[in-house]
Chain A
Amino acid sequence: MSQTLTEMEKRTGNSPVSAAAPTEERKGLTKKEIAADHPTWCPGCGDFSVLALYFKLIEKRRMWHEKITTVAGIGCSSRFPYFVQAHGVHFIHGRALPFASGISLSRPDLHVFVFGGDGDAFSIGGNHFNHTARKNVKMTYCVMDNWVYGLTKKQTSPTSPLGFKSKTDQWGAIDYPINPMKQAIAAGATFVARTTHTNPNHVLQIMEAAMDHDGFSFIECLSECVEFYEGAFDASNPRKGGVFNEVPKNHDVTDEMAAYKLAGEPFPGYFGIFYKNTKPTKNAKEAEINKTHQAKVAGLKDWQILQKSFDRLK
């Protein structure tokens, strides 16, 4: 049993569990120990590589089963938690972010990762995306963007480009698509990055940076749906004759306007960290409020604090 667990047992419940680094030496988990169900995705789906790199991240960064929480909403990519051998949650469509916020704000000792698709993030859950970003709740959100609804078999998604022929736009999509990067920057996300499943090293690098970011870190990871939108991202894949442009070396990641401009580049655009800043998280701000208020009742048991309130109601 790690020391972290011992500490938790001693807790009196007066405050949420505090973050503590595991001190015990444990070997990093192997892929075999992290993998759960065999993924049910279609052969060739981009999501496989995101899963494989998540395993790699856990292995490389020596995270323990019990310290990871993987949360998802509804969609092909949202099946993700079933394939990871760790505490996991498969919630309802579009609401993974507020669920994950509940974990993050009450359990600062856990790494909270949220995986989902473009429908979850930008359609049904669009409002939650904006608000979780602006509140800067600490977690990593990886959106596997495939520009189409796959689970329900080829309807238009909020990121489908104009002209995309789907079962709900037989003549081609007419609604202007959402630009996830612009959306994230405008909403106030403090870490905004873009990657693609065809460049595994880049995905891992971005995931690591996102995990290390103290705040809401957002990754748009292009992830091809071979079944319903084959070839969507070929222009970004050098193996298919496309180009993989990394964010220019001289790009200032703290420059919001520069990041926004980068996000406006036509496809395939750029890959890497577009924007990053160090605003205090909601987690930190709430902890600060608690510190101030608890200082005023220092030494009192919970019932004695409540007694003080009741004394004023006599």
Chain B
Amino acid sequence: MSDTSTALSTGGAPKVSSIQEVVIRIAGNSQDGIQAIGGFLARLAGRSEQEVMTFMTIPATISGGPSIFQVRMGSGEVLSSGDESDVLLAFYQHSYEGHINSLKKGGIVLYDSDHVVPRDEWKKDYHHLGIPISGLTVEAIGGTAKDKGKNIFALGLIAKMFDLNTPKLEKLIGERFTGKDPSILNNALAAFHAGYANSLGNVVETFRFAASQDKGGHQVVMNGNEALGYGLIAAGVRFGAGYPITPWSDIMELLRRELPKYGGTFVQTEDEIAAVSMAIGASYGGRVAVTGSSGPGISLKTEALGWAVMAEMPLVIVDVQRGGPSTGMPTNIEQSDLNIAVNGGHGDSPRVVIAPANVEDCFYMAIEAVNLARKYSVPVVLLTDQGIATRIEAFREPDLEKVCQDLAPSFEPVADHKPYDLAAPNGVTRHLAPGTKILSGKYPIVTGLEHDELGHPTGSPKLHIQMTAKRRKKLQAMAAELPVPKVYGPPEGNVLLVGWGSTEGPIREAVDRARGAGDSVSSLHLRHINPLPNGLENIFAGFNNIFVVEMNDEGLYGFGQLGAILRARYCDARIQGINKTDGLTWKVREILERAKGHVATGLRKL
């Protein structure tokens, strides 16, 4: 909260202070419905033209375990889920003790006094507000369902504290519980109203968000997995195959549910290899198909991915990265699959790797992935991660009529067809779907063996050289057509932070904060990673220090996975790595401290 005046006093009428934004951390257990509170707040922010970003942790256990959901919402630009929270809502003693450190000094801890005993030593640093949430919820809705509804009661408390739009929240609650037993909705509304009617103990100050700018048009609110799934549908994908694995499963569940409406199919296969094989089979059928996975599943798919490179078959492979290697940290964030995405598999197998930078970007990069796969007849790996997959953001509703594509294959007979025509400009050939009559009577074979122009096997050294070059050249041609990313901040200066994937927000916030403090810091975010767009060397030339900020290990030689690629590509000794492997999203403070640690002379321009 930007307003720092005291929130609590001993009496008098509540004062209303205007704030720009707030970070609320809700801590409880995974069955408490704390994600529902966060979801309501995020959706409300979306409907109120506010910006919002969430962050959640979920235990990797089967059921239960501590869990948090953090929401940052505000009237201005929200780039990250926030380093520290303004309000901690703690349901249990472990939530209270485990997360008090995430609270700003002077922040408010709102706790369930039925479960939490506050500690005296913390009372001087944080405003403590104890409300018997469990007891009051039972009072409000009856004791039939123990512990159920206290999340909605707490939502009422928060609504009161921040003067949130109650009719909108009631509508959201109504939508959420629509179609269920009406008593469930009635109970939820009763719990919400009871929370909202609470006097908030001794709080004499409530908050109101400053009016946010009218953004024109509606916002939609969703997480990255949803945005990506819907993006694939908008792109025209009508077939997919997958195997369940966290955090990818949400996407396959969405596609399984949604695709039939469009006449499409998503198949849950017996394993990861069958999934990628089936998707390639459907792509061969004439329409780009999708498969996806996380970590270990991607390892299993690499042989078939190599086939798609060799046979030049379009395909989209989604990798929702998590902590690795092996089973690793299934519910944590990491960017450690870049190497397998770019190089995974045997042989020289150039493929495309792209990475969305935020939730909205998940939607548009899904379309980009499909179009690159089609245009260049090549598999495209779409790299997201656990963080972007589960975090909720509000973004401007896409113009769906405009962005939706129809990928129905043409079966117009052709005079002749060479699937691997060496005379094709830049080596770019297009797949011809079966069902197409070829008037010459010569039909193509698509194959993983090295082949001649018609797809028939060859051991010819000359053809292997030519075909290897063909598969490379089309990606080089693609690189020349990719947009050169824009520098965030001045195009010249002392420090350039380079990032990829879900870290764009915190990196930009770090730039803003550093510049606010007078430091010379800019950032560059890469969405196309393999091939890299041309011209990055010109951008690097404008800076004294280049730090590649990644959530992966610094590697044997001191560079993260993108860092190593950039070093190899540009032979630029100024490229250094800022890496971490704690399985958590970057805090803005961490990025800046690490950058400062690297530059002895500080971040200011010399």
CB distance from B463 to the nearest CB of A (A): 15
Residues of B417-456 whose CB lies within 8 A of A: 434-438, 441-449, 455-456
* Given A67-B435, A95-B274, A99-B281, A89 and B400 contact (CB-CB distance below 8 Å): no
CB distance from A303 to the nearest CB of B (A): 4
Given the complex of chains A and B, what is the CA–CA distance between A289 and B47 in angstroms? 34
**Which of B220, B238, B412, B443 is A9 in contact with, Cβ under 8 Å?**
B412
Asked whether, in the complex, the Cβ of A12 is within 8 Å of the Cβ of B278, the reply is no
Asked whether, in the complex, the Cβ of A91 is within 8 Å of the Cβ of B448, the reply is yes
Asked whether, in the complex, the Cβ of B408 is within 8 Å of the Cβ of A13, the reply is yes
Given the complex of chains A and B, what is the CA–CA distance between A127 and B275 in angstroms? 13
CB distance from A228 to the nearest CB of B (A): 21
CB distance from B43 to the nearest CB of A (A): 8
Residues of chain A lying within 8 A (CB to CB) of residue B398: 310
Given the complex of chains A and B, what is the CA–CA distance between A37 and B445 in angstroms? 11
Residues of B256-271 whose CB lies within 8 A of A: 258, 260-265, 267, 269-271
A-side interface size class:
35 or more
Residues of A287-314 whose CB lies within 8 A of B: 289-290, 292-294, 296-297, 301-307, 309-310, 312-314
Given the complex of chains A and B, what is the CA–CA distance between A13 and B288 in angstroms? 12
- Of the listed residues B220, B264, B397, the one surrounded by the most CB atoms of chain A closer than 10 A to its CB is B264
* Given A13-B406, A91-B277, A103-B284, A98 and B269 contact (CB-CB distance below 8 Å): yes
Tell me if B24 counts as interface (CB < 8 A to partner A).
no
Tell me if B219 counts as interface (CB < 8 A to partner A).
yes
Q: In the complex, given contacts A314-B218, A314-B220, what are 10 additional A-B residue pairs having Cβ atoms less than 8 angstroms apart?
A: A1-B413, A5-B435, A13-B287, A17-B435, A95-B277, A102-B278, A103-B285, A105-B265, A106-B285, A292-B260
CB distance from A286 to the nearest CB of B (A): 5
Q: Which residues of B contact A (CB under 8 A)?
A: 43, 46-47, 175, 218-222, 226, 230, 233-234, 236, 238-239, 241, 258, 260-265, 267, 269-271, 273-275, 277-287, 289, 303-304, 307, 397-398, 400-401, 403-404, 406-408, 410-413, 434-438, 441-449, 455-457
* Given A314-B46, A314-B47, A105 and B267 contact (CB-CB distance below 8 Å): yes
Residues of A27-58 whose CB lies within 8 A of B: 33, 36-37
Given the complex of chains A and B, what is the CA–CA distance between A185 and B306 in angstroms? 34
Residues of chain B lying within 8 A (CB to CB) of residue A128: 270, 274, 277
CB distance from B367 to the nearest CB of A (A): 12
Residues of chain A lying within 8 A (CB to CB) of residue B241: 98, 102
Given the complex of chains A and B, what is the CA–CA distance between A33 and B280 in angstroms? 28
Asked whether, in the complex, the Cβ of B273 is within 8 Å of the Cβ of A306, the reply is no
CB distance from A206 to the nearest CB of B (A): 25
Residues of chain A lying within 8 A (CB to CB) of residue B260: 286, 289-290, 292-294
Residues of chain A lying within 8 A (CB to CB) of residue B407: 13
Asked whether, in the complex, the Cβ of A5 is within 8 Å of the Cβ of B408, the reply is no
Given the complex of chains A and B, what is the CA–CA distance between A308 and B448 in angstroms? 42
**Which of B218, B275, B406, B456 is A302 in contact with, Cβ under 8 Å?**
B406
Given the complex of chains A and B, what is the CA–CA distance between A100 and B175 in angstroms? 42
Asked whether, in the complex, the Cβ of A16 is within 8 Å of the Cβ of B437, the reply is no
Asked whether, in the complex, the Cβ of A87 is within 8 Å of the Cβ of B285, the reply is no
Given the complex of chains A and B, what is the CA–CA distance between A290 and B262 in angstroms? 8
Asked whether, in the complex, the Cβ of B262 is within 8 Å of the Cβ of A302, the reply is yes
Interface of B is mostly: mixed
19 pairs from A and B in contact (CB 8 Å cutoff):
A1-B413, A8-B411, A13-B408, A67-B435, A69-B434, A88-B455, A90-B448, A98-B278, A99-B278, A101-B281, A103-B284, A110-B434, A131-B269, A290-B263, A302-B262, A306-B230, A310-B230, A312-B175, A313-B222
Tell me if A11 counts as interface (CB < 8 A to partner B).
yes
Given the complex of chains A and B, what is the CA–CA distance between A76 and B304 in angstroms? 20
Asked whether, in the complex, the Cβ of B226 is within 8 Å of the Cβ of A102, the reply is no
Tell me if A107 counts as interface (CB < 8 A to partner B).
yes
Asked whether, in the complex, the Cβ of A98 is within 8 Å of the Cβ of B221, the reply is no
**Which of A89, A304, A305 is B445 in contact with, Cβ under 8 Å?**
A89
Interface 9-residue window, one of A78-86, A157-165, A175-183, A230-238: A78-86
Asked whether, in the complex, the Cβ of B435 is within 8 Å of the Cβ of A313, the reply is no
Residues of chain B lying within 8 A (CB to CB) of residue A109: 435
Asked whether, in the complex, the Cβ of B220 is within 8 Å of the Cβ of A102, the reply is no
**Which of B46, B274, B286, B445 is A81 in contact with, Cβ under 8 Å?**
B445
Nearest residue, chain A, Cβ from B283: A102
Given the complex of chains A and B, what is the CA–CA distance between A294 and B261 in angstroms? 5
**Which of A33, A103, A127, A294 is B263 in contact with, Cβ under 8 Å?**
A294
Residues of chain A lying within 8 A (CB to CB) of residue B281: 71, 89, 98-103, 106
Closest 3 CB pairs of A and B: A102-B281, A15-B263, A13-B408
CB distance from B41 to the nearest CB of A (A): 15
Tell me if A65 counts as interface (CB < 8 A to partner B).
yes
Asked whether, in the complex, the Cβ of A102 is within 8 Å of the Cβ of B284, the reply is yes
Asked whether, in the complex, the Cβ of A14 is within 8 Å of the Cβ of B273, the reply is no
Given the complex of chains A and B, what is the CA–CA distance between A103 and B443 in angstroms? 17
Given the complex of chains A and B, what is the CA–CA distance between A64 and B438 in angstroms? 11
Residues of chain B lying within 8 A (CB to CB) of residue A294: 260-263
Asked whether, in the complex, the Cβ of A12 is within 8 Å of the Cβ of B406, the reply is yes
Given the complex of chains A and B, what is the CA–CA distance between A9 and B409 in angstroms? 8
CB distance from A76 to the nearest CB of B (A): 13
Residues of chain B lying within 8 A (CB to CB) of residue A151: none
Asked whether, in the complex, the Cβ of A107 is within 8 Å of the Cβ of B271, the reply is no
CB distance from B415 to the nearest CB of A (A): 13
Residues of chain A lying within 8 A (CB to CB) of residue B280: 91, 99, 102
CB distance from B128 to the nearest CB of A (A): 37
Given the complex of chains A and B, what is the CA–CA distance between A109 and B577 in angstroms? 53
CB distance from B448 to the nearest CB of A (A): 6
Asked whether, in the complex, the Cβ of B443 is within 8 Å of the Cβ of A107, the reply is no
CB distance from A294 to the nearest CB of B (A): 6
Asked whether, in the complex, the Cβ of B400 is within 8 Å of the Cβ of A303, the reply is yes
Asked whether, in the complex, the Cβ of A309 is within 8 Å of the Cβ of B230, the reply is yes
Asked whether, in the complex, the Cβ of A33 is within 8 Å of the Cβ of B441, the reply is yes
Asked whether, in the complex, the Cβ of B239 is within 8 Å of the Cβ of A1, the reply is no
Tell me if A25 counts as interface (CB < 8 A to partner B).
no
Tell me if A92 counts as interface (CB < 8 A to partner B).
yes
Nearest residue, chain A, Cβ from B266: A286
Asked whether, in the complex, the Cβ of A297 is within 8 Å of the Cβ of B261, the reply is yes
Residues of chain B lying within 8 A (CB to CB) of residue A99: 277-278, 280-281, 284
**Which of B47, B262, B277, B400 is A102 in contact with, Cβ under 8 Å?**
B277
Nearest residue, chain B, Cβ from A310: B220
Residues of chain B lying within 8 A (CB to CB) of residue A90: 445-449
Given the complex of chains A and B, what is the CA–CA distance between A65 and B439 in angstroms? 10
Given the complex of chains A and B, what is the CA–CA distance between A128 and B233 in angstroms? 28
Given the complex of chains A and B, what is the CA–CA distance between A290 and B218 in angstroms? 31
Residues of chain B lying within 8 A (CB to CB) of residue A293: 260-261
Residues of chain A lying within 8 A (CB to CB) of residue B262: 14-15, 294, 302, 305
